[in-house]
Amino acid sequence: MKRSAKHESGSSMVTVAVVQAASVAFDRKRTLAKALDLTRDAASQGAKLVLFPEAFISGYPRGLDFGAVVGWRTDAGREDFKRYFESAVEVPGPTVDALSKAARANSVYLVMGVIERERGTLYCCVLFFAPDGTFLGKHRKVMPTASERLIWGYGDVSTLPVFDTPLGKMGAVICWENYMPLLRTFMYSQGIEIYCAPTADHRPVWSATMQHIATEGRCFVLGCNQFNRRRDFPKNYSTAFGDESDTVFSRGGSCIVSPFGEVRAGPIPWDISSGQFHGFGIWGAHPKCQMAVGTDFRGDDLRSVLPTRSRRCGSGCSCPWGKMR
C-alpha cells in the first residue's frame, strides 16, 4: 500500500519513505535481512530517504516485564534480557557495516532504529547513513520512557546531532522524547528541517503530536512506528497481552507532516491481512520557514537539564554548544 502527498514550493521535489513494518523480534540476522529488502523496495520506488521505526533491530519488547519487581528478578526474566541483549547491535560492528552498504547500494539516506549494545548496557538508538555509505552518526534516546528504564541506559547531549544534507538539515527525536520541550528546542536551534520521529507510541493522539511539532518547529516531521501482532514475537514470550496470534501489539499510525502542520501522508492505518506498509510523501524544500529560537537561548540553558559527558565545549569548539551565543 502506498500513500503519497505533494507539496509545491518551486524547489526540487524529494520522495521519502516511512517504513511501517514488524521486526523479527530478538532475531538480529532476520530483522536485518528484512530491513535491507524494505530499503531496496523503497529506493526502487524513488525514495531518497528511508526511515525505520524505533528499535526496529531487533525489536521493541512490548508487554515484557523481564521478571522484575522491586528487589527481585526471576530467572526467566534474566533469560529474557539475555536474549534481548544478544540480539542487540554493536556500534560500530557488522550490522552497521551491512546498513552502510545498503545505503550506498540504494543511494539513500537511511535512518534506522536499533537497540545498541555497549559493554553491559543497552541503548535505544537511531543510526544515520548517507547515500555514499558513510555512517554519519547516532542518537541515543536521552530519557527512556517508564519501564524502558529497566532495560535501556540513558543517552546524553553528545548524541543529539542534526546533519546538514542536500535534502535539508536532518535529525531524530525518539518516541516520548518528543514530549520534552527543551530537547525539541535544541533541535530547532540547530535548524532542523527534516525531523525524524521513530516511535513505539501507537495512540491516536500521536499524530496530533507530530502536527504540533511540525508547526512549532516549521519543519517536515516523519512519524514512524511498527505494525505488529503477537505472532511476530517468539512463542516463549510471556506478555500480559495474551497468546492469540492475531492480537495487535502495535497499531502503526505512521505519518508525514508539512511545516504548516498539514498531514501529507497517513496516519497509516493497519490492514489485518498484511499490516506492512511503506508510507511515501513527496515534498519540495520549504522556503525559509524555520523557527527563530531567540537570542536569550544559550547552550547552558539546555545543558543544565540534559546529561552531558563533558563540559569542555567553548566558543572555539565545532560542536553545537560552541556555536551558540
Closest C-alpha to 50, from 86, 119, 104: 104
Locate 82 and state its grid cell.
539475555
Backbone angles phi, psi at 251, to 5 degrees: -95, 0
Cβ-in-10-Å burial (0-12, 13-18, 19+) of 83 comes to middle
- Going from the C-alpha of 311 to that of each of 85, 112, 169, 306, 322, the distances in angstroms are 31, 29, 25, 12, 11
Q: Which of 141, 148, 193, 196 is catalytic?
A: 141
Q: Which of 124, 125, 175, 196 is catalytic?
A: 175
Residue 134: partners with Cβ closer than 8 Å, 6 or more residues away? 100
Backbone angles phi, psi at 102, to 5 degrees: -65, -40
**Grid-cell match 512506528, residue found:** 225
Q: What is the DSSP string of 254-317?
A: -EEE-TTS-EEE------TTT--EEEEEEEE--SS-PPP--TT--HHHHHTTS--S-----TT-
Q: Is 175 tagged catalytic?
A: yes
**Grid-cell match 514488524, residue found:** 22
Q: Which of 48, 54, 148, 255 is catalytic?
A: 54
> What is the SS3 assignment for 223?
strand
Q: Is 54 tagged catalytic?
A: yes
Task: Decide the pairing of beta strands 255-257 and 220-224.
Answer: antiparallel
Locate 285 and state its grid cell.
524544500
Active site positions, annotated = 54, 141, 175
